[in-house]
């Protein structure tokens, strides 16, 4: 789908350039876009490397673990169908901790691993479970204490005060997260999706099912 969108945008660009009678507009826009992309990337690299280093220090000092423990009760409330000591819970906590610090690049791998673990617990492999939908909603609208990427982009374009958006970003993401949580609770209350089974329970269920199959 994304490839089709990009192809459509390219075709629209060519069509607009042909309408204007100057096909060089497409070439000019392509080179200007490439130049802008490289400039933004170089600006992001310096800030992201800095904050990734801070994140590493936070991990080594135990700050991330403390944040994870602080978020533990909240996460268990948001994901009641995930067993407390399941590996999925650890990945969810790591993902949310990284998002809180504005480190989306660091949060993405943890979010993918969390989705894989939630799929393992999912009783219906063809449909996203409520826990998977909750994780996606929270990951999209996560409260962000330090909008690292936005600060980096503003610095690249010589903003007088790149960090002035911290307060407004925190307010906006807090409202978005609350909306995501309320929507999640509302849909969960009306969902008839079967609850996820702990690994031990699911293995017992599978064993019983195979036993019935052998008996027939």
Q: Give burial (CB, 10 Å; 0-12/13-18/19+) of 170.
A: middle
C-beta separation of 2 from 18 below 8 A: no
Rounded CA separation 216/80 (Å): 36
Cα angle vertex 109, ends 107, 111, to 5°? 65
Q: 123 with 202: CB under 8 angstroms?
A: yes
pLDDT for 175 equals: 93
Helix or strand (DSSP H, E) at 120: helix 104-121
Residue 178: per-residue pLDDT: 92
Summarize pLDDT for 37-78 with one digit per residue, the tens.
777 777 667 666 776 676 677 667 777 677 767 777 888 888
Q: Rg (Cα) of the chain, in Å, rounded? A: 23
For position 202, what pLDDT does the model report? 44
d(CA 162, CA 146): 11
- Both tokens of residue 117? 């673990």
In order along its 216 residues, the chain shows pLDDT tens digits of: 778 887 888 788 778 777 777 777 777 777 787 777 777 777 667 666 776 676 677 667 777 677 767 777 888 888 888 887 788 887 888 788 778 777 666 677 788 888 998 999 888 888 888 889 899 888 888 888 878 777 777 877 778 888 888 888 889 989 998 999 898 888 888 876 655 444 444 444 444 444 444 444
CA distance 132 to 197: 14
Contacts by 48-51 with C-beta closer than 8 Å and gap 24+?
48/105, 48/148, 48/149, 48/152, 51/101, 51/102, 51/103, 51/146, 51/148
Q: What is the spatial distance between Cα 148 and Cα 132, in angstroms, rounded to a whole number?
A: 26
Rounded to two decimals, the pTM is 0.60
Distance of CA 186 to the CA centre of its chain: 21
């Amino acid at each position: 789908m994304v490839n089709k969108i990009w192809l459509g945008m390219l075709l629209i660009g060519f069509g607009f350039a042909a309408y204007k009678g100057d096909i060089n507009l497409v070439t000019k826009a392509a080179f200007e876009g490439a130049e802008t992309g490289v400039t933004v990337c170089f600006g992001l690299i310096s800030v992201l490397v800095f904050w990734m280093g801070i994140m590493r220090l936070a991990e080594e000092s135990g700050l991330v673990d403390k944040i994870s423990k602080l978020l533990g009760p909240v996460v268990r409330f948001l994901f009641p169908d995930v067993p407390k000591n399941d590996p999925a819970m650890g990945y969810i906590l790591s993902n949310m901790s990284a998002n809180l610090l504005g480190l989306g690049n660091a949060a993405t791998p943890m979010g993918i691993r969390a989705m894989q673990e939630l799929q393992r617990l999912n009783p219906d492999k063809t449909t996203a479970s409520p826990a998977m939908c909750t994780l996606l909603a929270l990951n999209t609208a996560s409260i962000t204490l330090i909008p690292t990427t936005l600060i980096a982009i503003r610095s690249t374009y010589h903003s007088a005060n790149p960090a002035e958006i911290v307060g407004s970003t925190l307010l906006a993401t807090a409202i978005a997260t609350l909306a995501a949580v309320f929507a999640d609770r509302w849909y969960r209350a009306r969902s008839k999706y079967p609850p996820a089974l702990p690994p031990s329970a699911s293995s017992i269920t599978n064993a019983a099912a195979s036993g019935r199959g052998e008996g027939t």
